[in-house]
Chains A and B, each alone.
Chain A
Amino acid sequence: MNGKDQALVVESTERLLDVLRDRLDLKGVKEGCGTGDCGTCTVIMDGRLVNSCLVLAVQARDKKITTIEAVGTRERLHPIQKALMKYNAAQCGFCTPAMVLAGKNLLDHNPSPSKEEIKEAISGVLCRCTGYYKIIDAIHDAAKEISEVKT
């Protein structure tokens, strides 16, 4: 759980989303629809994006889970977070944690994605404010920044 072992006894019917928010106090994970459509509860589980409303907590046993709380710090933001600010790519902010995670997971697997690949990668997360373009531009920009830092 965000790089640390976490031991919890959970009910068989508890959703990962509720365990993260209510028991581990990770409020960056948002509940939107609760039926796997909006993607605002996205977390990274073993290197793949999942909607935590569709994962039972028991299914997360022995899995590596990353939530927004483990991406960047206040002093050292992740390049995607910085780029989102630069492009003014958040309005209400409700989808933003999921967008950052979707972007991060993409860049972890594909450091220099095309805009089409970015669209595809964030397609499971709905944003009702921005119209997506700024988010796509921001992730594209962050990819360039990361690769420049590396070279």
Chain B
Amino acid sequence: MNSFISKQFPMNTMSRRLLRMLWPLIVVPLTAPALAADAVAAPSTAAADASSGAAAPAAPAADATGTTRSLDEGIQNLKKDVVDLNKDLFVLEEELLFPANTQVAVFVSMDVGDFFALDSITLKVDNHDVSNYLYTPREVAALLKGGVQRLYVGNLKSGDHELVAFFKGKGPHERYYQRAASIHFEKGVGAKYLELKITDHERAQQPEFEIKDWE
């Protein structure tokens, strides 16, 4: 046994053998550019903080093999097909359920929001409740960033109608606040869009609620 091992691993080449054994460990820090990628990643954190949202390189990537690339390409194509299909389904649903000649859509927008923290909105069309929506903080934030929510989509026949919106939330001084706004509108042949606008009235230090009829 002793002689066998000695033949296999002659002592005079120990250092070389050690290094051969250590080579896999050397490979990790040196042969893979992961180290370099790591290096880029770190300072960019500070960079991102300091430069108002500039994104930084993320974690290192291993070399993409042919197999994973081909699988990834296939999955990307499949995802694109799903997105296209999803769009076609959305179009079908809306055209089927809310045709343009009867469609009425109510949107919500919010500007500034210093004097009002939105909790919920209730909608009545021709004195019938059509929507009662409770907002999450994320949705409120989305409104404050400039998003406009399509709160309600429905169908109405041509003619005169009335929309009443009840806004609930916290007003100035953290007090419970409820206000209503209403509009009489005429539904014509095309789709009708109405916008509930919540804005701050700086001089009155109060929120303002109005409904805009988008002709």
> Does chain A bind chain B?
no
